[in-house]
Amino acid sequence: MNTQPQKIAIVTGANNGIGFETAAGMAEAGYHVVMACRSLAKAEAARDELIAKLPSASLDIILLDLGDFSSVQRFAEDFRARYEKLDVLINNAGILLYSAQTNGGGIELQFATNHLGHFLLTALLIDLMPDDPASRIVALSSLGHKGASIHFDDLTCGGDGGIAYGQSKLACLLFGDELDRRLRASGRKIKALSVHPGGSDSGLFTDMSDAQRSKLKAQVEQFLHSNASAAKPALHAALSPDVKGGDYYGPTGAQEMSGEVGHATRDPITGDLDVAGRLWSVSEELTGKTFSL
């Protein structure tokens, strides 16, 4: 059991892109960072790179495939065997697909990875979090949540990967909001917040073909900012003493693609409490985990 007094953070998808920069920012802030990654080789390479940049960084690696719920369960068990507490959970990892894919349980893979895996991970670890305003759960949404909806009758979205991606990122934002409401209702001081990174050439693009990647970058390249800048909303939500539970942060520049961090705009559907409640129930059903606060 790791009993060091240092504050502990988990960053999912910490081996590249925005997750890598988020892990770097949390380590620089003095946190012991658990890098939750699918690939051990990529995670070890990222850890070595982080230590080269920040020799004082305190890092650990635990394997996690968010699309595989048994992997999420193993991660939680491994984390609990190593650590007695968790101060910050940054649910960063995500995939972007342009074809219909499902996980081993037949669930649309983006919905399973981007939302359900993080829902389950949070449910399995939230009891380790001190009941303190500095304890944070940060959900990574996206500008892609705008105009999306939760297709409760067909979560595969008819096999349309783009629509399914928007659905998954809307689910991330709805989950962050609903979690904070439930934390407040239970009298807890832990804060749940949501963010979006704006536009960046992050690891999401690696799942595209070369032609798809080139086309998308040509369309948005003028708006893109660095992964280090794209990580700032998550770091703000995780570290700032001034944030409020339920807040949603992102870049405030043109089209919210880049710029200084501030309150981000939401799709009106995020205010529909019936949708948020139904998503919560469906998420418990699909993960097989009742979320206890």
Backbone φ and ψ for 96, nearest 5 degrees, come out as -130, 115
Q: From CA 54, how far away is CA 77, in angstroms rounded?
A: 29
Decide if 165 is catalytic: yes
The pair of three-digit structure tokens given for residue 153, joined into one six-digit string = 């009758």
- Give me the half-sphere count of Cα atoms (radius 13 Å) on the Cβ side of residue 287: 28
Residue 187 CB burial class (10 angstroms; 0-12, 13-18, ≥19): exposed
Judge contact between 8 and 83, C-beta under 8 A: yes
Q: Crossing angle, helix 117-125 and helix 161-185, to 10 degrees?
A: 20
- Which one, of 272, 228, 163, 204, lies nearest residue 21 by Cα? 228
Of these residues, 31, 83, 98, 165, which one is catalytic? 165
Structure tokens at 257: 């693609």
Nearest to 116 by CA among 286, 230, 249, 245: 286
Q: List 52's β-bridge partners, or say none.
A: none
Give me the DSSP letters along 193-253: EEE---SB--GGGGGS-HHHHHHHHHHHGGG-B-HHHHTHHHHHHHH-TT--TT-EEEE-S
Burial tier of 211 (Cβ tally within 10 Å: 0-12, 13-18, 19+): exposed
> Which has the closest alpha carbon to 287: 93, 63, 107?
107
d(CA 274, CA 150): 12
Active site residues: 165
